[in-house]
Amino acid sequence: MRPLEGIKVLDLSRLAPGPYGTMILADLGADVLEIEPLDWSLPSFLGVEGKSDLLAYHPFERNKRSMCLNLKAEQGRNIFYKLVKNAEVVVEGFRPGVVKRLGVDYETLKGFNPSIIYCSLSGYGQDGSYNMLPGHDLQYLAMGGMLSLIGERGGRPVIPNNFLGDYAGGGLQAAIAILAALVAKDRTGKGQYLDVAMMDGVVLLLAMEASIYFMTGTVPERGDSARMGSAPYYNVYETKDGKYITIGCIEPHFWENLCRALERDDFIPYQHDEGKKKAEIFTALREIFRTRTRDEWFAFLSQKDVCVAPVNTVEEALANPQIIHRGMIDEVNHPQAGVIKQVVTPPKLFGTQDEVIKLHSRPGEHTFDILTELGYHEHDIEELRQAGIVN
């Protein structure tokens, strides 16, 4: 038994953030039903073209059911309202105002199910002067202050894929909010409306930097703090083979272990030096780390009680024995594409979690089953299909 079994989630979201959040809920056992448009198109893997069975590899589509439903038609909305009566959660990721125009907003759905939990996931929130401003991950990082801190001192801001805004600031925060609301509902019997903004999630990731700014009045900038590459003891160094090794010896005893391992005990008293000694240590460490390969350094320093890790490629990380040991990759047989590997949701819930991955559903694959569960007969379903209400 998985912890969220029996929880029904209706997912109206598109693109990455919402489906990422509902993927987490589905992995934890929730019955997630994706409500797709009739003109559904394949979710995009940026940079991947011409791959057959592409949907089979799409992680955000797994462990879910799919129904194609025309919400712009009254008959389609009526079907959705019937689904809402037996659901616990609705998730949407449209621009503010869209669900109201469609007639599937919180106030409307609350009339059919007063205890519904309704999560709206948007870029800047449902209110405020920016609520209608379009954007993507990059804009939320920029507006929230995160982008100004990513990159080297004096260099351009570096775009960190869409990990921080879409996933950490958006989908993950939505999943957390929904889980919290489910706990509250279990205690009070009441549902609630959840307004999750990706910009807000980005700002939360800046909690430490913001507190330092509030305390000192000093504006953090790229490369200015030890956590952003200004210190020799917490940095990335190029190795003999052109690869990179990371050192994170913040605690004094780790710094001492590193210095002794490198036979530079004379550096131990100068861990936090901000003068000429700092530049000398940086220069020396850069020269030292170029004398061995990345893997040679890791093999050596990992035995010296030093905070060290190689900068792995994605390929190397996914083959890493610790990641394999932790069960972070699962394999599933697909009838057309063969063995499909995917990264799983990480928490290990001993006692309730039974990790199972069911690969993607075809768009509308479960439409007939869902309508049958709602009491529609086969001829009724065919009439709805002919009328362009379902697919």
The residue from 53, 136, 195, 305 that is catalytic is 136
What pLDDT shows up at residue 292? 98
Q: What is the pLDDT of residue 51?
A: 54
pLDDT on residue 284: 98
64-73, 190-199, 252-261, 353-362: which has the minimum mean pLDDT? 353-362
* pLDDT attached to residue 34: 97
Band (pLDDT 50/70/90 cuts) for residue 46 is low
Identify the pLDDT of residue 127.
97
- The residue-averaged pLDDT of 180-193 equals 98
Indicate if the pLDDT at residue 50 is higher than 60: no
Which residues in the chain are classed under CATH 3.40.50.10540? 8-205+325-386
Tokens read off for 51? 């791959």
Asked about 330 being catalytic, the answer comes back as: no
Helix (H) or strand (E) holding 378: helix 378-386
The 10s digit of each residue's pLDDT in 104-158 is 999 999 999 999 999 999 999 999 999 999 999 999 999 999 999 999 999 999 9
The model's confidence at residue 351, banded by pLDDT at 50, 70 and 90, is confident
Scored b (16 or more CB within 10 A) or e, 314-334 reads: eeeeeeeeeeeeeebeeeeee
Outline which parts of the chain fall under CATH 3.30.1540.10.
226-238+244-310
pLDDT digits (tens, 9 = 90+) for 74-105: 999 999 999 999 999 999 999 999 999 999 99
Least confident of 46-50, 209-213, 314-318, 353-357: 46-50
Element containing residue 44 per DSSP (H, E): none
Share of the chain above pLDDT 90, in %: 84
> Coil, helix or strand for 391?
coil
- pLDDT tens digits, one per residue of 367-380: 999 999 999 999 99
Average pLDDT over residues 331-358: 84
Q: What is the pLDDT of residue 48?
A: 60
The domain covering 226-238+244-310 belongs, at the CATH homologous superfamily level, to formyl-coa transferase, domain 3 (3.30.1540.10)
Selecting among 27, 31, 137, 166, the annotated active-site residue is 166
∠ CA(248), CA(285), CA(154), 5° rounding?
75
What's the topology of domain 8-205+325-386? Rossmann fold (3.40.50)
**Residue 365: band (very low, low, confident or very high) from pLDDT cuts 50, 70, 90:** very high
Residue with tokens 């469609």: 102
Confidence of residue 335 (pLDDT cuts 50, 70, 90): confident
pLDDT of amino acid 75? 97
Q: pLDDT tens for residues 204-239?
A: 999 999 999 999 999 999 998 888 899 999 999 999
- Residue 352 pLDDT exceeds 80: no
Q: Is 366 a catalytic residue?
A: no
Residue-wise DSSP of 315-346: HHHHT-HHHHHTT-EEEEEETTTEEEEEEPP-
> Is-contact 87 34, C-beta < 8 A?
no
pLDDT tens for 160-181 read 989 999 999 999 999 999 999 9
Mean pLDDT of 342-355: 82
Mean of pLDDT over the chain: 94
